[in-house]
Amino acid sequence: MRHRLFDSAVLASVKRKGKQLALVARDGRALLVRLGMTGQLLLVDSIDPTIKHVHASWAVRASGRLRFLLFRDPRRFGSLIPCCDCDAIDSHWDTLGPDALSVTAAQLAGAAKHRRVPLKVFLLDQSAVSGLGNIYVDESLFLARLHPRACARSLADSEWKNLVTCFQKTLKKSIRMGGSTLRDYRTPDGVLGRFQHMHHVYGRSGELCTVCKAVVEREVVGGRTTSFCPMCQNGSTNVGK
């Protein structure tokens, strides 16, 4: 039996927090979209049966034009959650930390005060700050000259301020460039992202640092592949303490 949310509805707004979207209908119903690692929303003129891993589709009519919205997720880490109203969305989002584009240095410092974990692990924790993924944490730590294994609670206030500036700058620049297309990522209109051409460390292990020409290294931190420059990111912050 289909949920009423998937019946005809007029889309009133699109909300976002971190990596999650909420498609809100005029009658108050909503669909929470969690993209996970490989989830995509694609807006296409027709449904191509050769496109693999499409798990849901909707017919969308705007200004008399019929198009189709597809939810595609090759690795199936994403999800679609029907919500009866915006309060239900808020209850799902209560577990998320402040959005990365609006979080303050003071908020992050407070959340990290008792966290004896590597900085990389802390920044990927969506309950601490929502919206940062592996690419943008690596790139932001490089710009902030912080080692990914630095202990989160050991950062000084000035380091938190610099780090927030760096990851907000990185995110905004990536958004302007359409994101990073490394494999099959596309914008909703099917356009390739261009930010991957600006990466300093992510995906560049074994290559020369764009600043100091040291060799970019790669380690696994908190179960995630992590790239960094051993020279540019060897600051005084205690590592692993």
C-alpha pair distances (Å), 134 with each of 27, 63, 86, 137? 37, 38, 29, 5
* CATH code for the domain defined by 105-228: 1.10.8.50
pLDDT block averages, 10 residues each, the chain of length 241: 59 93 93 87 89 91 91 90 91 95 97 95 96 93 97 97 96 82 64 77 95 97 96 70 51
For residue 47, what are its two tokens?
A: 């449904």
pTM of the prediction? 0.85
Distance CA 85, CA 89 (A): 7
The predicted pLDDT at position 39 comes to 83
117-137 pLDDT, tens digit each: 999 999 999 999 999 999 999
| DSSP label at residue 150 | B
The predicted pLDDT at position 1 comes to 34
The predicted pLDDT at position 107 comes to 97
Q: Where are the domains of the chain?
A: 4-93, 105-228
238 phi and psi angles, rounded to 5 deg: -60, 130
The predicted pLDDT at position 6 comes to 54
Who contacts 75 (Cβ-Cβ below 8 Å, separation ≥6)?
A: 36, 37, 38
C-alpha pair distances (Å), 210 with each of 196, 198, 213, 214? 14, 10, 6, 8
CATH (one of 3.40.50.2020, 3.20.190.10, 3.40.50.300, 3.40.190.10) for 4-93: 3.20.190.10
